């Protein structure tokens, strides 16, 4: 069984996952500003920010878990692409060396 891996595709996928991770960070930052501002919902609805504060704390925990998971995915994809590249280069060197030492 053989596998053909395009390391640039792995790196591109890692970049896409990193973009998703950045979006989570932006959402987390935006929601933090809203919950800290009692005037964000206007005078009639300013009570909403107090209700949402507890919910935001729970969501922040979930988003932190997602951020950590996505960070692990990005790191693993990048390390994997580097490993594939190293193995390919090492094997190519071995094949070239074997060809140079062949029968004359």
In a domain, 41, yes or no: no
In a domain, 25, yes or no: yes
In 3D, which of 102, 78, 90 has the Cα closest to residue 8? 78
In a domain, 38, yes or no: no
In a domain, 71, yes or no: yes
In a domain, 78, yes or no: yes
Q: Give 85-102 pLDDT, tens digit per residue.
A: 999 999 999 999 988 875
In a domain, 90, yes or no: yes
Report how far residue 57's alpha carbon sits from residue 46's, in angstroms, rounded to the nearest whole number: 18
Q: Give 59-84 pLDDT, tens digit per residue.
A: 888 888 999 999 999 999 999 999 99
Mean pLDDT of 19-33: 85
Report how far residue 32's alpha carbon sits from residue 35's, in angstroms, rounded to the nearest whole number: 5
Total of domains in the chain = 1
Q: Which residues form the domain of 65?
A: 9-31+46-95
In a domain, 104, yes or no: no
> Among residues of the chain, what percentage have pLDDT more than 70?
89
In a domain, 18, yes or no: yes
CB 78 within 8 A of CB 11: yes
């Amino acid at each position: 069984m053989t596998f053909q891996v395009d390391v640039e595709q792995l790196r591109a996928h890692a970049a896409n996952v990193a973009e998703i991770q950045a979006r989570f960070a932006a959402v987390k930052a935006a929601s933090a500003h809203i919950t800290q501002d009692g005037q964000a919902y206007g005078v009639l609805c300013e009570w909403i920010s107090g209700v949402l504060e507890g919910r935001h704390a729970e969501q922040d925990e979930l988003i932190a878990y997602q951020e950590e998971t996505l960070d692990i995915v990005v790191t693993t994809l990048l390390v994997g692409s580097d490993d594939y590249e190293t193995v390919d280069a090492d094997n190519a060197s071995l094949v070239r060396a074997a060809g140079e030492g062949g029968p004359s």
